[in-house]
Amino acid sequence: MKATCTMHDLAAELLEQIYTLACTDGGYTGCSLSLVSKHVREASRSARFHSISLTSGIARQLDVFLQCFYKERSAAAEHEGERTPIVRHLCIAAADGKDEQHSWCYRRTYMDPELDTTCETAIELEHQQYTTDLISFLQLAAPNLYTLSLVHWQGWQRLTMLHDIECAGFPLLQELTIAGPDPFIPKPDASLPLYPRVARLHLADKWGGFTDFPRWADGGLSPNVTHLRLSNLGHIPIELMAFVEHKKNDKFPHLTRFLIQPRGPPAPGGRCGNPYIQYDVFQSALAHLHAFAALPVEQLPDKEVPCLSQETWEEIAKREWLDRLEGGPGCWAAPATSCTA
């Protein structure tokens, strides 16, 4: 009689590989596996956190996740030979509310006259605690990440702004998307670049000015970039113009693709003409960039500022991040036009 084999009979190493390949959807499958049975929950412990998405804009989501994550790491430490759960792929948007989106922003901007000092202090403490927890988690996850998509702003609705997060670096990171300024800084004694293996770098700027670009153009942060994209570009910094005028850039010697997505025109019907004048100036500068570029510049369709009827920045980042995990092009899809000098 032929013996039957069940998942309980498979080697732990094989099960780990199976569960890891399944957990590439931002955490949904990982949550489902934890509810199957005690055996599956324990067997999949090291794989369930393989890819994590925290983009609700609510601080409680991070609270609940960290409680579970730290608990499972402690449980793994109690079993000799068991792998400690780590995060390999992370998509995260810095929250702007404790239990509901925009609550911190709303209550500060439109402060209720009856809101007393005690309540205001409590709101500030909530925000500070969330920021501390988020920074600690990012520092813990940094050494193991393969992909990171970080959003810490959302158009007119202000997400928590992160800055000066000191870390030892991202030695394994291969793909990085940052919407907002880069909040990470290397430790004073760091011997390697902050992002030594990043090959695909995607930067987005809330106002389109890319004042942070000179820091990246230096090349010291990520010297092995092969794909570079700038989204929501509304201004051409001098450093960007100098960057494209050199066909063989010594700061990014491995660069093979450079994509830009310009910011869209201002909405029609405005009483003030300044936005339209600024947009015309930008279009002239963009044409100048294409005319004098020594390296191929691939231009994507204009980017419109997200509104209530469109995807938010967090939704866009998550969709493109998930597409990359599934083997798709993500934000690196071929553009409609490509311009060279």
pLDDT of residue 340: 47
Asked whether residue 257 carries a pLDDT value surpassing 90, the answer given is yes
- Give mean pLDDT, residues 86-103: 83
The mean pLDDT of the chain is 84
Q: What share of the chain is helix, strand, coil (3-state, %, to 5)?
A: 40, 15, 45
- Give mean pLDDT, residues 277-303: 87
State the chain's maximal CA–CA distance in angstroms. Answer: 84
pLDDT of residue 3: 64
Question: What pLDDT band is residue 336 in, cutting at 50, 70 and 90?
Answer: low
CA 157 to chain centre: 17
Interval 158-199: pLDDT, tens: 567 788 899 889 999 999 999 988 999 998 888 889 999 999
What 8-state DSSP symbol labels residue 268?
A: T
- Residue 318, number of CB atoms within 10 A of its CB: 21
Question: What pLDDT band is residue 229 in, cutting at 50, 70 and 90?
Answer: very high
- Give mean pLDDT, residues 103-111: 57
pLDDT of residue 2: 58
Question: What pLDDT band is residue 156 in, cutting at 50, 70 and 90?
Answer: very low
122 versus 66: the higher-pLDDT residue is 66
- Give mean pLDDT, residues 130-159: 85
Asked whether residue 309 carries a pLDDT value surpassing 50, the answer given is no
pLDDT of residue 137: 96
Asked whether residue 78 carries a pLDDT value surpassing 60, the answer given is yes
pLDDT of residue 115: 57
Asked whether residue 79 carries a pLDDT value surpassing 60, the answer given is yes
Asked whether residue 248 carries a pLDDT value surpassing 60, the answer given is yes
> Going along the chain, which residue ranges are E strands?
51-54, 89-93, 147-151, 165-167, 175-179, 184-186, 200-204, 227-233, 257-262, 297-299, 337-339
The least confident of 97-101, 181-185, 327-331 is 97-101
Asked whether residue 13 carries a pLDDT value surpassing 90, the answer given is no
The least confident of 39-48, 197-206, 249-258, 316-325 is 249-258
Question: What pLDDT band is residue 271 in, cutting at 50, 70 and 90?
Answer: low
234 versus 172: the higher-pLDDT residue is 172
Percent of the chain with pLDDT over 70: 84
pLDDT of residue 222: 93
Question: At CB < 8 A and 24+ separation, what contacts does 157-164 make?
Answer: 157/96, 157/102, 157/105, 158/96, 158/105, 159/57, 159/93, 159/94, 159/95, 159/96, 160/94, 160/95, 160/96, 160/104, 160/127, 160/130, 160/131, 160/134, 161/94, 162/94, 162/131, 162/134, 162/135
Interval 17-52: pLDDT, tens: 999 999 999 999 999 999 998 888 888 999 999 999
